[in-house]
Amino acid sequence: MLHFIFEKHLEQGYSVQIEQDNQDDICQHWVATYKSKDVGSIRLWPKPNGVAKLGRLSVLSSSRGLYIGQKLVLEFIEYCKQNKFNAIVLHSQYPKRGFYEKLGFVIEEGDEIFEEAGTPHVRMWMRNL
């Protein structure tokens, strides 16, 4: 999975260390494959009160625009529903919020734009799964 993260960070100018939060062992990870090649990933970090934190979503640049990112998120949502999570939260890069809005995530009133990894982000929710 590291190669997705590596590519994402090269592309976005982040340092790889930003993703090393020592939470991977308690998280679940999925990898998307397309034509027998690993092309995308997503991570679920279980938080208190039945909240699932969605993160590490990345699709290789050569495989974007094929609805692989959308499919990863839809599978993630389905998994959360089946496994009794109440809500999903994520931190979206602010310019990419439209990707998540199409899937039903919302920015709640009072949630401000904040800086994470040097870029503007916003919290988004899907509640009442």
Ligand X SMILES: CC(C)(COP(=O)(O)OP(=O)(O)OC[C@H]1O[C@@H](n2cnc3c(N)ncnc32)[C@H](O)[C@@H]1OP(=O)(O)O)[C@@H](O)C(=O)NCCC(=O)NCCS
User: Interface residues for ligand X in 1-30 (CB under 6 A)?
Assistant: 8
| Residue of closest CB approach to ligand X | 69
Q: Is 78 helix (H, G, I), strand (E, B) or coil?
A: helix
- Which residue has tokens 């089946």? 82
* Nearer Cβ to ligand X (8/80): 8
* Rounded least distance, CB 118 to ligand X, Å: 13
Instruction: Note whether 43 binds ligand X by CB under 6 A.
Output: no
Rounded Cα distance between 129 and 117, Å, is: 29
Rounded Cα distance between 127 and 129, Å, is: 6
* Rounded least distance, CB 73 to ligand X, Å: 8
User: Interface residues for ligand X in 78-97 (CB under 6 A)?
Assistant: 92-93, 96
Instruction: Note whether 70 binds ligand X by CB under 6 A.
Output: yes
**What would the two tokens of residue 100 be?**
């998540």
**What would the two tokens of residue 64 be?**
């974007």
Q: Is 90 helix (H, G, I), strand (E, B) or coil?
A: strand
Q: Which residues pair with 53 in a beta bridge?
A: 45, 89
**What would the two tokens of residue 56 be?**
């590490």
Instruction: Note whether 58 binds ligand X by CB under 6 A.
Output: yes
Under rule CB under 6 A, how many of the chain's residues touch ligand X?
A: 17
Residue numbers at the binding site for ligand X (CB under 6 A): 8, 57-59, 64-70, 92-93, 96, 98-99, 102
